Structure 1
Amino acid sequence: LKDGVYSTELEKSLLGADVNRIVNHLSFGWYESLFQSYMAKKLVKVVSSMGEQSMGKSFSLNHLVDTLFAGSAMCMTEGVWMSVTPTKDALIVALDFEGVHSIERSAQEDTLLMLFNTAISNLVLFRNNFALSRDITGLFQSFQSSSTVLDPASNPSLFQSTLVIIIKILSHLLKFDVVDLDKAEITREFALKFQQIVQDEQEANFISRLHAGQLNIIPWPVIESQEFYKLFPTLKRRLDKQKLTHHTAGEFLHVTCVLLKNP
């Protein structure tokens, strides 16, 4: 796109171009004024939301960092969308990703989106369904596939996020009251499955390579319960404590453009 319009001439002119030239043609619209001028020296924290389709990914970001992503029971998000929330101390960049394993995307596209997400984010929220996602090896195949594309050791400012697994428990899919569900047992079940992935993949496991070994598992109450909204401040505190990887907004913009060119 050039000025919001698809341009075959621009596409042809960039064939075979070097990284710097392509990066200079990437644009984030009016957000670039924030990143390059008005708030160029601000710290940046990045939180992303991804997971299975129709799991409330956009809804969660809206409540966590005051964004306005569209939400629906239908599959609304395509690709990845960005929103920016200025705060006193930092710019909070929210990335809303399309559901994993979408029939509209190839496995390669899934892998590239996953790689971009884990490289740039400080906190990755992965929402999934307890009743339907017990086979996490298949669910996280895109993570594992992307873990060997780039070497985290060669990119110390990237791949420093914490992966937060948010387990959404749907009451109509279970035969017992979710309020009385043993959350510790749910956490233990998922933790054991992730331990098995680490054991099977050894040093190549995606938790160590893409998230510096940082993993949290949170069973999330149903929306009808009073506890549903009480966990958002916990996530915000987790984001605040994450290792700083984007020291200025200008730096964040450049790194993002380079990653979009070189996944």
Structure 2
Amino acid sequence: MGNWMRHLMCLVPQIARAENNCLQPMNDGLQLSTSVDFVDAISLANVVKFGLYEAVINDWVGPIKVISSMGKQRVLYILLDFEGLGSFERSEQEDMLLSILNAAFSNITIFNKKDFHLDKETEAVFQRFQNGVSLVKADSKLFRGLFHMAIKDVDNSDVEDLKKEFCSKIQQICSKSQENFLTKMYGGSVEICAMPFFNRPEYHESIRDIAVVVDEIPGSYSIGKAFLRDVKLIISQITTKD
């Protein structure tokens, strides 16, 4: 498939939905038909397709990086948007399942925060992440990404105070468990950055800083077929509770 086609396609079809307290895989961006027959996660993974991007990823022979916001040995960036996370549209169970899916194969998770303080809403989201810790299975290839917290509309001078507050809140949330979601799902890799107001030059500098972080992170996959295989299996395992 030519480069012009890769540039033409800019939206990946929806690959899964969290509803009714379950993760529902999508097939070519559409709800999976009730007539589809599967007995386990592996047979379900063989059914799931990702639309036109299936061919792009399957034929890709260079490294892949997965961000949870191309000639010679270029990197294919796959951007996942976890829409509605932490909103009234999602139950606690659905948020937990999405957080596991996100952390499993993302090289970097960019968690957007709109203000300086860790409010009750953010604490609730982190608590839902924490609830998924017991379901995370050890795997040398998975749960190795960076948790990058981007704080919007704040100055760099405020970041240190925010880091202290962040650590304090995480300790409170995770106090009842020997493991917390940051170490279990992200290997303890955490960064917090400030993103000044949009109309200031520093805002665009912060975007470039994030781009540098993404470029420096090693990709988890050296070929597209391996990525397709794993992401389909992960979605299917969460769906079938395998």
> Which TM-score applies when normalising by structure 2?
0.77
**What are structure 2's unaligned runs of at least 5 residues?**
1-25
How many residue pairs end up in the alignment? 211
Residue in 1 that maps onto 2:226 = 251
1:84-137 superposed Cα distances (whole Å, 9 cap, x missing partner): xx3752110000111322222222111111110000100000011225633443
Residue in 1 that maps onto 2:99 = 114
Q: Within the alignment, does 1:42 sit opposite 2:62 as a pair?
A: yes
Q: Which moved more, 1:236-245 or 1:90-99?
A: 236-245
| CA displacement at 1:179 relative to structure 2 | 5.5
SS of 1:156's equivalent?
Answer: coil
1-structure distance, mates of 2:222, 2:63: 5
Identity %: 27
| CA displacement at 1:223 relative to structure 2 | 0.7
Q: After TM superposition, what 4+ stretches of structure 1 lie above 6 angstroms from structure 2?
A: 1-5
| CA displacement at 1:186 relative to structure 2 | 2.8
Alignment equivalent of 1:161, drawn from 141, 145, 169 = 145
Alignment equivalent of 1:149, drawn from 132, 135, 147 = 135
Q: Within the alignment, does 1:92 sit opposite 2:92 as a pair?
A: no
Q: Residue 151 of structure 2 aligns to which amino acid in structure 1?
A: I
1:183-220 superposed Cα distances (whole Å, 9 cap, x missing partner): 4323333233334445x145320010000001111121
**What are structure 1's unaligned runs of at least 5 residues?**
50-85, 170-177
The answer to whether the 8 Å contact 2:151/2:192 transfers is: yes
2-structure distance, mates of 1:230, 1:42: 29
2-structure distance, mates of 1:46, 1:190: 25
Alignment equivalent of 1:192, drawn from 123, 146, 168 = 168
2-structure distance, mates of 1:235, 1:105: 28
Q: Residue 127 of structure 1 aligns to which amino acid in structure 2?
A: N
Residue in 1 that maps onto 2:15 = none
The 3 A distance-change label for structure 1 pair 179 and 28 is closer
> Which TM-score applies when normalising by structure 1?
0.71
The 3 A distance-change label for structure 1 pair 193 and 103 is closer
The answer to whether the 8 Å contact 2:196/2:203 transfers is: yes
SS of 2:68's equivalent?
Answer: strand
2-structure distance, mates of 1:192, 1:104: 28
2-structure distance, mates of 1:167, 1:4: 31
The 3 A distance-change label for structure 1 pair 32 and 186 is same
SS of 1:167's equivalent?
Answer: strand
